[in-house]
Amino acid sequence: MTANDLRAAQIVTGGGPAPRVVDCEQRLLTAVAFGFGVDRRHLCAPTRGRADIALARQAGMYLARVALGQTLSRAGRLFGRDRTTAAHACRVVEDLRDDPHFDALLHAMESFVTPRNDCDEALQ
């Protein structure tokens, strides 16, 4: 998967106009759902769900923190979790980055969601 694949997924999902910070978060949710092959609705579900969904959610919280520069509280809230869960997710994902395939997947998602000028302004 490449950043171009993720951009194509964003075009397919569409969506109406939204505040820029929400757009950045929506790009993140799209990238994670597409990258891990899970339904976006499951990422924010109140239950843990299957292991693949939980891992996708953890990766999403990690990317919210690292790529978007969000606080742990905000990263957790995006996925319906608290800051301690987001902190745990960041530790888990950081350990998993030793796997070259997992790291490549995260790198592709990170390049897709890394704030551009419009998101940089909205996140500050």
Domain ranges of the chain: 3-123
Q: Helices (DSSP H) in 14-116: which residue ranges?
A: 20-36, 40-43, 51-66, 72-78, 83-96, 100-113
| DSSP structural state of residue 16 | -
Radius of gyration of the chain (CA): 13
Distance from C-alpha of 99 to C-alpha of 101, rounded to nearest angstrom: 6
Q: How many other CB atoms are found less than 10 A from the CB of residue 31?
A: 29
pLDDT tens track for 34-79: 999 999 999 999 998 899 999 999 999 999 999 999 999 999 999 9
Structure tokens at 65: 């923190």
pLDDT tens track for 74-101: 999 999 999 999 999 999 999 999 999 9
pLDDT of residue 9: 47
* CATH match of 3-123 with 3.40.50.620: no
